Amino acid sequence: MVSAAGGFMELIDRIFFGAIEEFREKGIKFTMDSLASRIGISKRTLYETVPSKINLVELVIDRTFADVKSQQKEIFENDELSLTDKLKLLFTIVPSYSEKIDYRRVIEIKRSYPHLYEKISNNLNSDWDRTIALLEEGMDAGVIRRKNLIVLKALLVEIFERMLDGNFLIQNSITYEMAMKETLSIVFEGILSDDARGKEEEEL
């Protein structure tokens, strides 16, 4: 027998993933009516659960970042991972259902609901303390070159926001995941070739 709470959360899940599918196919112009039809519930049930489209978009944003933060917590608390492995995973986290998201459409939220896009931006800028502490630990251990971490954070946040610009992904024919992997490569390996890096170290 399914409890009332369990049934409600199952409904929320259906609405959540249905909204992601609607957003992927139609962008931010999808309607609550089309969502209700997609997941097979009445419009009344949908509106009783999520009162408005704004609430729905906010639900998707909140649950997506909650998923990311949950993954971050697992990485931080995994003692079997090395420091560098933790950092690599932290810098390339995507939602666990990332394949269902069309990141090229996220910019549409900025145009239609700028206050909700600001919430995305705020999430990208927040909760860096543990990551900064891990980077500092790496510098103290000699694993990472000593750099200005405030600048590094600013660069990464700017990159992450840029990747949510649909035009950037479309014009460069890359996916969000590909861009994330390239960011990781640049951050950890730099842009110098192995030969150039060797010469630089000799000069130092």
Mean pLDDT score, 20-37: 96
| CATH 1.10.10 is right for the domain spanning 1-51 | yes
Give residue-wise pLDDT tens across range 139-160: 999 988 899 999 999 999 998 8
Distance CA 41, CA 59 (A): 18
Residues in the chain: 204
Domain residues of the chain, as ranges? 1-51, 65-203
62 pLDDT above the threshold of 60: yes
Give me the helix-helix angle, 32-39 and 4-26, nearest 10°.
120
Of 16-20, 75-79, 86-90, the range with the lowest mean pLDDT is 86-90
Distance CA 10, CA 4 (A): 10
Contacts of 167 (CB under 8 A, 6+ apart): 107
Give residue-wise pLDDT tens across range 96-124: 999 899 988 998 999 999 999 999 999 99
CATH classification number, 65-203, choose in 1.10.357, 1.20.120, 3.40.50, 1.10.3470: 1.10.357
